[in-house]
Structures are given as C-alpha cells and as structure tokens.
Amino acid sequence: MNETNRILLKSLNPHLLCVLCAGYYVDPTTIVECLHSFCRSCIVKYLETSRFCPICDVQLHKTKPLLSIRRDKILERLVYKIVPGLYAKEMDRRALPLKELYLSPDDLVSVVLQYHVEDAGPKALVDGEEENHDAPNQDLKISHRKFLKCPAAVTVELLKKFIVLKYFLTDQHQVEIIHSTEYLPDHLSLIDIAYCFEWKQVILLYYYSL
C-alpha cells in the first residue's frame, strides 16, 4: 500500500507569506506583470510611494499602479485550506473595522461623482478647485456633480457602467474613476475605498471620459 508523505507547513511558508509584512497572505493580490503576490493592504500601501514590484523591481503602470494588481482568489483559497484557523481569524479581524466604521455591505453610502478634466492636474483633485469645466463632448451635456446613495458593496465597475448609461456614452469613451489622485481599479468596492482612504461619511470620486 502506498504511503502518504506529510508535508510540513513550514516547508510551504515561502509560498504563503507576504514579503512586505512577513505574515500569511490576507486578500492575496498579484502583480500581473510578474505574478508576484502580496497582501492586498500591503501592496496598495507600498504602491503609494513606488511603481516597482517589491521583489523583482519590474515596473508597474507608471500613472495607475493599481491597474497592475489583481485579487488572487485561487491563492486565497489555497492559503485558507493549508493554514489551520486562518480563515476564522481573518473573518473576526474584518468584523472589527466594519463595526468601527458602522458600515456593512448593505449600508447605503453617500457618493459624489464629479467630472474631472484630466489635464487639470492632481492639485485640482486635492483642493477641489475644479469649477464649471466643460465635458469632453459638448453633446453629452455632462453636469458638474452627481449625488448618489449606493450600497457599500457597489464596485467601481458598476459606477462606471452607471456613468456610461447615464450619459449615453459609446464604446469610443473610456471612463476612469479617481479618488485622491489615485486611479481606482474596477474590483474595488465602496467599503474598500473607505478602508484605503480616510472616510468622512461622503465618498467623493472624480471621473473623466477619454
């Protein structure tokens, strides 16, 4: 009869640990250019000051680094299966900030969508100095601001679809959404944005159309 060889957890650790925090992957996120993985919160914070992979120095997207990372659900399931109790601990940990924010996926969040002229520069986003800019296409008649009440689980991708439908945009228009000068990837939810940025009851997002 064939014997089953047992693999020690410590022998797998090099494949399960984030080099930025030295802990097991939490929300594993992979850089698409080189396929190196990190905790999502770790790599998002790291990319605030760098545009290169922490492991191999491959360059990410120069102006939109978050577009170069993707959540790795397969790796996440693998880590939870291999590391005993990690999933339960992570669910408990996530419950704490949700209580502190008084925010759950079904809660309604106030969102302000404001049109942004791309060449206005980052300062206009930070200082809120944009006023009465024309839309890229006058026929679209895009108004200055839109005030929404959205479930906290709504993603950036859904907000983009709303803009496309609201203003009858075509495939020729590419919509991007920005928060605090950072271009947001489609998979981020409003809860994610509240975690990643300072949340002040109302989430202000800028968008523009190419």
How crowded is the C-beta side of 18, counted as CA atoms within 13 Å? Answer: 23
Residue 52 has pLDDT above 60, yes or no: yes
Residue 125 has pLDDT above 50, yes or no: no
Burial status of residue 74 (CB atoms within 10 A of its CB: 0-12, 13-18, 19 or more): exposed
Q: What is the per-residue pLDDT for 92?
A: 62
Q: Give the separation between CA 166 and CA 163, rounded to whole angstroms.
A: 5
Please report the DSSP string for 157-205 in residue order.
Answer: HHHHHHHHHHTT--TT--EEEEETTEEPPTT-BHHHHHHHS---SEEEE
- The Cβ of residue 185 has, within 10 Å, a number of other Cβ atoms equal to 20
What is the four-CA torsion angle of 106, 68, 197, 87, rounded to 10 degrees?
50
Torsions phi, psi for 74 (to 5 deg): -65, -45
Which domains are present in the chain?
Answer: 10-94 (3.30.40.10), 98-121+142-209 (3.10.20.90)
pLDDT digits (tens, 9 = 90+) for 160-207: 999 888 888 887 888 888 887 777 888 888 877 876 666 666 677 877
Q: Give the separation between CA 173 and CA 136, rounded to whole angstroms.
A: 10
User: Which residue, among 182, 188, 108, has the nearest Cα to 147 in the 3D structure?
Assistant: 108
pTM: 0.49
Q: Give the separation between CA 155 and CA 157, rounded to whole angstroms.
A: 5
Q: Give the separation between CA 65 and CA 50, rounded to whole angstroms.
A: 9
Which is it for the CA torsion 175, 149, 113, 138, positive or negative? positive
Q: Give the separation between CA 57 and CA 19, rounded to whole angstroms.
A: 14
Strand ranges in 98-155 using DSSP code E only, listed in sequence order: 108-115, 145-151
Strand ranges in 72-153 using DSSP code E only, listed in sequence order: 108-115, 145-151
pLDDT digits (tens, 9 = 90+) for 2-42: 555 555 556 677 788 899 988 888 888 999 999 999 988 89
